[in-house]
Structure 1
Amino acid sequence: MMNSFTAEHTPAEIIKVFPKASDLFKQRRIDFCCGGDRPLSEVFIEKNIEASSVLTELNTAYEKWQKEDHEITDWDAIAPSKLIDHIIHTHHAYLDEELAPLGQFVTKIFRVHGETDPHLKELHRLFHELKLELEEHTAKEETEVFPLIKEYETSPNAELLEKIHIANGGLEEEHDAAGDILKRMREITDDFSPPVNACNSYRITYARLADLESDTFQHIHLENNVLFKNL
């Protein structure tokens, strides 16, 4: 386990060791899933972020976290088939249960508050675009790509691996698109912070959107930075 993090570490590397770092990265709008394989030094320059303050905050939180009792999952050590099962039963199942009812909330607050809060029109459009993307994406994974990976695990060969790499390239592009939508949703909602006088439906919608973002980013991280990278 790392003793401390430097600007040469990537967000993806850090998340594997210190999952709670995702909170800090989200606050700073640092990508740890789709573009998580770039060194923090590049991210700091691109976003004009003062490196020392972020690294101090990150390492202070990590030092405190290390003293607590945590069950660490070494995703790199898990067989691809088991990781796929985890993704399906955890992240795909979450999307299956959450997208439709959350869509109703997004539509409700747009209809009720859209005239006074114009950004809700864009939020409504973005959410339903994301919903369609994720539904088509998870179906493709479960019916096309994941079976190829499981087959390769038991019967590895170069031709099958090439098919998987081609398919994974398309999935990673879709991950980028979903990540961009989520980032825009966070931006227009002021980090999913409802107005002071927001009704309960407004607050519930924003809280559930924040949960959707967290789950989706972890979902993408496990695929891009663990499952696909280890093939």
Structure 2
Amino acid sequence: MVQTFTEQSIVSDIVKQFPRSSDLFKAYKIDFCCGGNRPLSEAIAKRGLSPEEILKNLNTLYKEKEAKQHIQIDWDTASSAEVMDHIVQKHHNYLQEELPNLSPYVTKVMKVHGGKQSHLRVVHKLFHDLKTDLEQHTVKEEMEEFPLIKSYEENPTEERLRAIQEGLSDLAMEHSHAGEILHELRRITNDYTPPEGACGTYRLVYNRLEELESDTFEHIHLENNILFPRYMA
């Protein structure tokens, strides 16, 4: 089987191509920041770890990510249940894993560099405001709105439809607020461009914030433009 990453891959290059690999390296206590400019084999040997185990886990994670990105669905013909299941499995699960994993990196960069670069304190606040909003948002969808839509599909009534419309109006406003935070994050980070000489963790945070933005906008698109109009007409 052809592997995307090998023992000769440079650690910092792996994180650049696949930002979420930093979580795996953190778990194995492999330095991808100051000590990232070296082959993975060297970093593994220094920790006395198993190359086979780490490469298997690393490449499996990457292939899972690639597989999710290439799922093709005809949204015009997909049922509402299929749309909602996709949102939960791809976007909610991503947020459930990514938000708590990214949080300590955002805090670390703010603590290390925030004294001289005050905008990082704003980045820290914006990210954690967004984290709280998105966590509450996904719970509301999974516990309230999505089950209500599924029950309406099984037994449509005017009362259920009105309840759905009220709930979706609230969700749409939450989308707008999340979008505002993401736009401000992009503005204040200069389109996620780290300063010259930024350390690996600094670059990692910007890369993963941009990835979070991309996933969230796709998530919002599926709801605002595909799912919600079916019930808001």
Match of 1:130 in 2: 130
Match of 1:76 in 2: 76
Contact persistence 1:76–1:230 (CA under 8 A): no
Matches of 1:74 and 1:182, distance apart in 2: 28
CA displacement at 1:197 relative to structure 2:
0.7
Q: Give the number of the structure whose alpha-carbon radius of gyration is greater.
A: 2
Please state if 1:223 is matched with 2:212.
no
CA displacement at 1:230 relative to structure 2:
1.6
Matches of 1:164 and 1:228, distance apart in 2: 9
Matches of 1:73 and 1:201, distance apart in 2: 35
The Cα RMSD (Å) is: 1.2
Matches of 2:76 and 2:136, distance apart in 1: 27
Query: What percentage of residue pairs aligned between the two structures are identical?
Result: 51
Normalised by the length of structure 1, the TM-score is 0.68
Match of 1:158 in 2: 158
CA displacement at 1:108 relative to structure 2:
0.5
Q: CA distance change for structure 1 residues 184 and 229 in 2, over 3 Å: closer, same or farther? A: same
Matches of 2:76 and 2:142, distance apart in 1: 21
CA displacement at 1:171 relative to structure 2:
0.5
SS of the residue corresponding to residue 96 of structure 2 reads: helix
Q: Provide structure 2 residue ranges, at least 5 long, that are not aligned to the other structure.
A: 1-69
Match of 2:113 in 1: 113
CA displacement at 1:152 relative to structure 2:
1.0
Match of 1:193 in 2: 193
CA displacement at 1:73 relative to structure 2:
2.9
Matches of 1:195 and 1:230, distance apart in 2: 45
Matches of 2:146 and 2:192, distance apart in 1: 33
Normalised by the length of structure 2, the TM-score is 0.68
CA displacement at 1:71 relative to structure 2:
7.8
Larger RCO (alpha carbons 8 Å, 6+ apart): 1
SS of the residue corresponding to residue 229 of structure 2 reads: coil
Amino acid at match of 1:209: L
Matches of 1:215 and 1:196, distance apart in 2: 27
Superposed, 1:6-25 pairs within 5 Å as none
CA displacement at 1:77 relative to structure 2:
1.4
Matches of 2:213 and 2:117, distance apart in 1: 22
Matches of 2:71 and 2:157, distance apart in 1: 35
Matches of 2:230 and 2:131, distance apart in 1: 28
CA displacement at 1:193 relative to structure 2:
0.8
Match of 2:213 in 1: 213
CA offset digits 1:15-51 (Å, max 9, x no partner): xxxxxxxxxxxxxxxxxxxxxxxxxxxxxxxxxxxxx
CA offset digits 1:153-186 (Å, max 9, x no partner): 1111211111000000000001101010000000
CA displacement at 1:72 relative to structure 2:
5.2
Contact persistence 1:193–1:206 (CA under 8 A): yes
Amino acid at match of 2:173: E
Matches of 1:134 and 1:146, distance apart in 2: 16
CA displacement at 1:74 relative to structure 2:
2.1
Matches of 1:72 and 1:104, distance apart in 2: 33
Matches of 2:209 and 2:76, distance apart in 1: 29
Matches of 1:222 and 1:184, distance apart in 2: 22
